[in-house]
Amino acid sequence: MIRAAILGASGFVGAELLRLCAGHPGLKPVRLFGDSQAGLPLEHVHPHLALAYPGAKIDRFQPELLEGIDLVFAALPHGHSQAIAPELIDRGIPLVDLGADFRLREPAEYERWYKEPHQAPELLSRFVYGIPELHRAQIAVSKTVAAAGCYPTSAILALRPLLSLIEPDTILVDAASGVTGAGRALKDETHFATVDENFTAYGLLSHRHTAEMEMELGGRILFTPHLAPMNRGILATCYGVAARDMDPEEPLEALRAAYRHEPFVHVSERAPSTKWTLGSNAVHLTARYDPRTGRVLAVAALDNLVKGAAGQMIQCANLMLGFEETAGLSRVGVYP
């Protein structure tokens, strides 16, 4: 049994990690860390987990509490992992980090998009970008993985097999996320009265996840995120000018060929829905070529807390630790 620690256990992603680990045959969370809820029993912070983790509590992080830990999941705001990663690496503890700290390959790119210098640039090259469908072999032999962001996961999986069909520098990504993507902290923009019966764009021209999309897809990408009045889910609608004329179904067939053997990717002619993915590690994709406009269209749906966060972290950990890649993860959504 792998003894795991979770940094950021009091947040939405921390809760989802705990929910998924409760059904995992080889991962056991034994240390739960969080600042804002430190000292509280887990059942007070996440009542839905009470039966799975009786007696568990949230501690404030101290390095000495990592004694005997075999794996660390870090679900922290950007900037925090930079301070912790060096010690974890020195201790030889495998780390799956969900923050943005180690996703980008170049320190200058981090500073450009996050408006501050990277505090551990010498470690960037040690981290593998954590989308298993694209970097499975590298993840399996690494001890340090930076799980991809939720928006980039949807857009990258939708577009990567289609790059040969699209003109560079013409990609547009419009994506909508549920409110949990903003984290658990109270904010005016995620207040019920703000979100309910509302749909809004944000991060115009400057959203940080653009950097990951450009890193994995190449070219210049215009990305516009939107906040949808729902708890979970991401729907990404992606466009690009076609490189040539083609059959309208050719992009769909390219997706099918690329993901034919992937356990968590479903490709269909139907336009995907976020509710199909609720609670699962699945990604639903479709694509078309529009001869009228000369553009390729690709659409992806996923659960931002599972495949966009905790599920992807566990999928990476399974590869790193030699478990079945699907261990503890469902391909089946909750419906209705």
pLDDT in tens, 193-232: 889 999 999 999 999 999 999 999 999 999 999 999 999 9
User: At 277, is the pLDDT very low, low, confident or very high (cuts 50, 70, 90)?
Assistant: very high
* Token pair for 66: 């990592």
Q: Please state whether 203 falls in left (phi above 0), alpha (psi between -120 and 50) or beta.
A: left
Question: Which pLDDT score is estimated for 274?
Answer: 98
Percentage, residues of the chain above pLDDT 70: 100
Question: Which pLDDT score is estimated for 78?
Answer: 86
313/328 Cα distance (integer angstroms): 11
Question: Which pLDDT score is estimated for 187?
Answer: 80
Question: Which pLDDT score is estimated for 298?
Answer: 98
CA distances from 31 to 7, 26, 138, 146 (A): 8, 15, 27, 20
- The matching CATH number, chosen from 3.30.360.10, 3.30.365.10, 3.90.220.20, 3.30.830.10, for 151-303 is 3.30.360.10
Instruction: Quote the mean pLDDT of the chain.
Output: 96
Instruction: Break the chain into its structural domains and give their ranges.
Output: 2-148+307-321, 151-303
pTM of the model: 0.97
* Token pair for 19: 């929910």
- The per-residue pLDDT for range 86-110, each reduced to its tens digit, is 999 999 999 999 999 999 999 999 9
74/313 Cα distance (integer angstroms): 9
User: At 149, is the pLDDT very low, low, confident or very high (cuts 50, 70, 90)?
Assistant: very high
- The closest of 12, 31, 11 to 93, measured between CA atoms, is 31
227/53 Cα distance (integer angstroms): 33
Architecture of domain 2-148+307-321: 3-Layer(aba) Sandwich (3.40)
**Overall average pLDDT of the 145-153 stretch:** 97
**Overall average pLDDT of the 29-43 stretch:** 95
Question: Which pLDDT score is estimated for 236?
Answer: 98
Q: Does 185 score more than 90 pLDDT? A: no
- Indicate if 150 belongs to the active site: yes
113/313 Cα distance (integer angstroms): 23
* Token pair for 333: 């959504």
140/225 Cα distance (integer angstroms): 31
Question: Which pLDDT score is estimated for 183?
Answer: 85
Q: Does 186 score more than 80 pLDDT? A: no
278/115 Cα distance (integer angstroms): 34
Question: Which pLDDT score is estimated for 36?
Answer: 86
**Overall average pLDDT of the 69-85 stretch:** 95
Q: Which residues pair with 221 in a beta bridge?
A: 171
305/74 Cα distance (integer angstroms): 14
Question: Which pLDDT score is estimated for 167?
Answer: 97
- In single-letter form, the type of residue at position 66 comes to L
Helix (H, G, I), strand (E, B) or coil at 26: coil
**Overall average pLDDT of the 14-28 stretch:** 98
Question: Which pLDDT score is estimated for 80?
Answer: 93
**Overall average pLDDT of the 140-154 stretch:** 98
